[in-house]
Amino acid sequence: MSPERLLDVDNVQVHFPLREGLVKAVDGVSYHVNKGEVLGIVGESGSGKSITARSIMRLLPKRALDAGGRVEMQLRSGEHFELSSYGRNSRAIRQVRGKHIGMIFQEPMTALSPVHTIGSQIMRTVQLHMGLSRAAARERAIDLLAKVQMPRPEQLVDAYPHQLSGGMRQRAMIALAISCDPALLIADEPTTALDVTTEAQILELLKQLQSELGMAIIFITHNFGVVADIADRVSVMYLGRIVETATVDDIFYAPKHPYTQALLRSIPRLGVDQGRRLPTIPGMVPDPFSVPPGCAFNPRCSHALAGLCDVQEPPEKRFGSQMSRCHIADQFAQEPVHA
Ligand SMILES: Nc1ncnc2c1ncn2[C@@H]1O[C@H](COP(=O)(O)OP(=O)(O)OP(=O)(O)O)[C@@H](O)[C@H]1O
């Protein structure tokens, strides 16, 4: 691992053996995150974004089968830690969760307990991982609430989650996730349930915290607009695989996978698309029990070549730092989809 590398995810596979058949929810996913960078992971519902992130934390649903792959992280001490070699409830992994990796979700109550005050939940975490005294932990909890820009932190530290608005609960969850100064924050659709104004405020807060604390973020979303705002690099997922990875500029101005291009065409442009019907991607995401042979996107792809795309799985093609899993990736000119 190079010194700037924080996380390496290599060929991770997560399956669900269900009565109807085997679902390969994550089918050989590889990516990396550098220290202090924001990696956006984009894709439609069911593409495997959340399960990939959960596999890093070893927080897979009970029915999931860990079918292989390796996840390694470089801790702040320089020590390499192989997360994939530990079980969900192992002592080692519980040390890493919360301390080295924080996680925030769409629904704050996934992370917050309804029966404890915001302050006591933060205090418990920092006492456990940072060895602070009760008084120092309370002080840190108040500082953290101030850092996430909650008003009157000295009072809100004693509030229960249900006493806060949705946006404030989101801030409290962020305070808890960053309480031990993690090197990595995994953000799984953290702004999806919020109104546009609150969403913009939370994104602004995350950007501010990211540059202030120097932490890396894996930002999972189905919304390309959000990615443009926050990410340095982007990976696009389709049916359990990463189909394209590139810098945010290359993703928007020179996408080399027809799925990325189709997702970009469906973003509304301010002032241009108002009142106009937006193109949507034809067809539906296929049933996860019967993924099409060849390139899984071929039945929905306007560029698909019969006898190639419906037969052969596309290899990873590289163009500098950009990767596309498309047979004809080299044919896409460097032209913006969004002119
Ligand atoms: N608990 C579960 N039991 C069975 N299958 C599951 C379970 N959780 C996820 N899956 C399967 O894994 C696939 C990927 O799920 P995942 O939650 O990672 O998708 P996602 O891209 O994050 O979508 P969303 O945005 O809807 O959360 C799903 O389509 C589903 O087939």
The residue whose CA has the least distance to atom 26 of ligand 1 is 45
The residue whose CA has the least distance to atom 11 of ligand 1 is 25
Distance CA 227, CA 256 (A): 17
The residue to which tokens 């290359």 are assigned: 250
Structural contact between residues 52 and 26, judged by C-beta atoms closer than 8 angstroms: yes
Structural contact between residues 141 and 126, judged by C-beta atoms closer than 8 angstroms: yes
CA of 65 to the centre of ligand 1 (A): 13
Which two tokens mark 158? 């004693």
Paired residues of 187 in beta bridges: 104, 219
Establish whether residue 54 lines the binding site of ligand 1, counting it when its CB lies within 6 angstroms of any ligand atom.
no
Closest CA to 24 of 9, 46, 54: 46
Which two tokens mark 167? 């946006």
Substitution site in 20, 27, 44, 50 for ligand 1 pocket (most atoms within 8 Å of beta carbon): 50
Distance CA 140, CA 122 (A): 8
pTM of the shown model: 0.92
- Which alpha helices (H) appear in 148-237, and where do they start and end? 153-156, 166-177, 196-213, 224-230
The residue to which tokens 């996978």 are assigned: 257
Which two tokens mark 130? 């940072």
Judge residue 108's burial from the number of C-beta atoms within 10 Å of its C-beta, 0-12 exposed, 13-18 middle, 19 or more buried.
buried
Establish whether residue 269 lines the binding site of ligand 1, counting it when its CB lies within 6 angstroms of any ligand atom.
no
**Dihedral of alpha carbons 337, 293, 40, 33, sign:** negative
CA of 23 to the centre of ligand 1 (A): 9
Judge residue 17's burial from the number of C-beta atoms within 10 Å of its C-beta, 0-12 exposed, 13-18 middle, 19 or more buried.
exposed
Kindly list the averaged pLDDT for each block of 10 residues, start to end, along the chain of length 339.
91 93 93 96 91 92 93 92 92 91 88 94 95 96 96 96 93 95 94 87 93 95 89 96 96 95 79 59 78 94 95 96 96 62
Substitution site in 13, 14, 15, 16 for ligand 1 pocket (most atoms within 8 Å of beta carbon): 16
Judge residue 110's burial from the number of C-beta atoms within 10 Å of its C-beta, 0-12 exposed, 13-18 middle, 19 or more buried.
exposed
Ligand 1: nearest atom to the Cα of 222: 25
Which two tokens mark 166? 């949705």
The residue whose CA has the least distance to atom 16 of ligand 1 is 48
pLDDT of residue 270: 56
Ligand 1: nearest atom to the Cα of 51: 18
Q: Identify the helix (H) or strand (E) that includes residue 321.
A: none
The residue whose CA has the least distance to atom 28 of ligand 1 is 46
Establish whether residue 236 lines the binding site of ligand 1, counting it when its CB lies within 6 angstroms of any ligand atom.
no
Paired residues of 8 in beta bridges: 32, 72
pLDDT of residue 279: 62
pLDDT of residue 269: 61
Ligand 1: nearest atom to the Cα of 48: 18
CA of 73 to the centre of ligand 1 (A): 24
Distance CA 91, CA 89 (A): 6
CA 331 vs CA 257, 311, 316, 325: distances in Å? 10, 19, 15, 13
pLDDT of residue 265: 86
Distance CA 323, CA 318 (A): 5
Q: Identify the helix (H) or strand (E) that includes residue 128.
A: helix 118-130
Distance CA 170, CA 191 (A): 9
Ligand 1: nearest atom to the Cα of 52: 18
Residue 332 backbone phi and psi in degrees, to 5: -85, 120
Distance CA 237, CA 29 (A): 9
Ligand 1: nearest atom to the Cα of 240: 14
Distance CA 72, CA 80 (A): 7
The amino acid present at 77, given as its one-letter code, is: S
